[in-house]
Structure 1
């Protein structure tokens, strides 16, 4: 078969992607050779251009992988449907007994396995379609805009786990990067300090909390429950928790966004800010916080 000679679609796509990455590295090396190392201004613009090119290529390749997966799921579903239609046509011919003789009667266990396999195929199809839509839509655009904003400041995203603790994990990462005495705090410590500060300054926080269904203000009991969730669960943190944290740490916090002005909290504190990235469309799960790190200049064959 032609596929056996040329390779599977996955192998062909992987080969294409390797070739594209190699070509890009050659282009990057050529770009580097045209800019003197002592020309800091041009080197800065060069680094920004390189990051943009790499981000665009990565997003393009991710999109192609997702499209291939979605296509394969659809093709598999078509094959299953053709088999089912063939079986049904045997019954419609009025020769059901012969059809039954040709097709072994499935056991209950086999039926359960078939049902589970069909459900898994459907789930994979939904995931693949959603991923393609996401890459072509809001997530794709948000990623490009953030990469551009961060590269202008010689920064890049430091990925943080999306487990409900992302705000606190991002701040934990930022504090660890500073390595200043007394400022390193664990995730648990950050949550505990946030909750304790909010309990001790109820009047500063409770006016901003309302029940989503009724719009009613929080009672003292509601507020205590809210603080307990901050302290002891994976409850997602937002702007109220950021305000509490900046007051606990005595440090300003800035939040970089793709489609809005950066948020700055705690500007009364005269220190370099903790920098976070806020993403509205991360991982298809909605809102998410990441940390940042210094921009890494892409490695080339000459550097290795």
Structure 2
């Protein structure tokens, strides 16, 4: 099945040029405040974490400073953990889940890990509830050298400046009904192609990295989240969003080849979460809690296998 919807920008079958991209940009509207919903939550955390401004967005540097939170007592003796949210700005629980993890859970892991949490990689996308950045570029297809995405380039520069090897990377995302109603039609229009559509999975699932699938790690994260919310069942073809199911609630992508944030590091334990906020079985709070459970489930698993003889007893 292909997405053949007429999109209000461009000519069907013809890739966009600069004028179409500018037309698309002119249609976008700010719908929520980055300063009020993200920066205001980060500011009080300065009492417990080191807040690092690692860049700005060139579209409006004063409006869009980029911040990360880093655990204190950062030492070479501890493994490093990266938690990222808001690569796709419209995916609300990714941003708010990263913030909630900092507010409620992160400190208790500081004894064991160097934590770096980047809650809102794409603040313009957060404000306009958008998948792309102002240049009609998907930041989560842009993690490569000489990136066309300032959002991706700034994060890559931050990680390079730290000069550390990450053991864990959890990238927080959502799959929404608007993926089929807006964002995939926009992609088809931008690139002048027909785009296959699929059923949006009703529930939480994970995307592992094909080059480093870590199935036991993925299984542990799913089990942790399942205590909070439901896991998406596969479709009739045993797939999720068009990809073969690897195990309960898990599919794999070629992260590095696709320029995904998940493929940014060489962490042996890496995953992308996908929450479904449009399900009748959840609300916004449940989605945020699911993201936090994914992060804590990941860290509890790594702690268990590295220091508790392989048992999976959560850190409490």
The TM-score normalised by the length of structure 1 is 0.24
Which entry has the higher C-alpha Rg, 1 or 2? Answer: 1
Whose RCO is larger (CA < 8 A, sep 6+)?
Answer: 2
Q: Normalising by structure 2, report the TM-score.
A: 0.23
Greater fraction helix: 1
